Amino acid sequence: MSGTGTGAGTPVTGDLVGLEVGPVAHGGHCVARLDGRVVFVRHALPGEQVVARLTEAGPQDRFWRADAVEVVRAAPDRVAPRCAVAGPADGRGRGCGGCDWQHVSTAGQRTLLADVVREQLARLARIERPDLVVEPVAGDADGLGWRTRVRFAVDAEGRPGLRAHRSHTVVPVEHCPIAHPEVDAVGVGTRLWPGVAAVEVVAGGTSRDGTAAAERLVVVEPVAPPKAPRPAGPA
């Protein structure tokens, strides 16, 4: 499908283009092509037809990046994200870069991850593993609640959250669905953290059935003080 930029000539960053999505790639992307140029597309699935917004599209770039913002033909494994801030930035506080595959069923996520690992093994190590599978991590709940270590960034207003993909922008997050319950129980996202740059929470020694004692480590990183001006040199 050819590009459909908003202006005449070569598409540029910010333009909307139509793409036929190809195979999965490392880093939460799928591969598409636009007039012969490789485009790495987030929020898409292999086999889909999408309208994507170009996010990095310089004329001299070897490849471009894009976010799928409209699905014209969906893949069977596409589902509604289970996180309110997952998906491309659209002006409504979305765009969190913490998850790559919230728009994919749990079984589909594991299939995609296995495809990526098999491709990397074959390309980098010349090892063929057609039987490779990705298994659930210990304690996950259908793909959620498994992450035992989360680092929350804090913006200038003291609001905690996670950064947008390839950005320093902090997307406010009150509850992270993939965080372990003991991480979520700290409630980092439910309060302001003035004067703080980041809050990291680590949970350990806890089972879901409550048979082990809860252990949590919370590390608060203060905002670095401004650097003192360098003394003037000799006249």
Are the CB atoms for 5 and 13 separated by under 8 Å? no
What pLDDT, on the 0 to 100 scale, is given for residue 212? 54
Contacts 24+ apart (CB under 8 A), 168-177: 169/95, 171/85, 171/93, 171/94, 171/95, 171/96, 171/97, 172/85, 172/93, 173/85, 173/96, 173/98, 176/83, 176/98, 176/147, 176/150, 177/82, 177/83, 177/144, 177/145
Of 71 and 233, the structure prediction assigns the larger pLDDT to 71
Alpha-carbon distance of 21 to 19, in angstroms, equals 6
pLDDT bin (cut points 50, 70, 90) of residue 89 is confident
Query: DSSP for 109-170?
Result: HHHHHHHHHHHHHHHHH----TT--PPPPTT-BTTBS-B-EEEEEE-TTS-EEEEBTTS--E
Amino acid in position 136 = P
Q: Residues 62, 68, 73, 77: is their CA dihedral positive or negative?
A: positive
Encode pLDDT of 147-195 as tens digits: 999 999 999 999 999 999 999 999 999 999 999 999 999 999 999 999 9
What pLDDT, on the 0 to 100 scale, is given for residue 226? 81
pTM over 0.95: no
Encode pLDDT of 195-219 as tens digits: 999 999 999 854 555 555 568 999 9
Residue ranges of domains in the chain, CATH in brackets:
16-107 (2.40.50.140), 149-222 (no CATH)
In this structure, of 6-10, 100-104, 196-200, 203-207, the range with the lowest mean pLDDT score is 6-10
